[in-house]
Amino acid sequence: MDNNNLLRQLLMIGVGTTSLVAERLKQVTEEWVREGKFNPDQARSFVDDVMVQLNVNNSALEDQFQRLFRNTLQDLGVPRQAEMDELRGRLDRLERQVRDLENKSWK
């Protein structure tokens, strides 16, 4: 399995879990409002606070996954895009030099 695909799947699981939590939280607070345990404003505020906290935690989790992913790729010896671009540039220069040398030898 592609590591990038694995990371994407893990992030989607996190998003799906957050959506399920949000839906369940909405149901529970609606029930609490019906039972008179919360008034609608309290319920809305409670849900908003929980969702903010979940989003903060998801953001931190996403950052950790990305860091782990980059470190894993580095440990495996997979070059970064900038390194690949640099190597392509060096290869282009070397190919140009070889062509120039070949052209000189034919003259």
Residues 38-62 pLDDT 10s: 888 888 888 888 888 877 777 777 7
Q: What confidence tens digit (pLDDT) does each residue in 11-21 have?
A: 677 667 777 77
The per-residue pLDDT for 2 is 61
Compute the residue count for the chain.
107
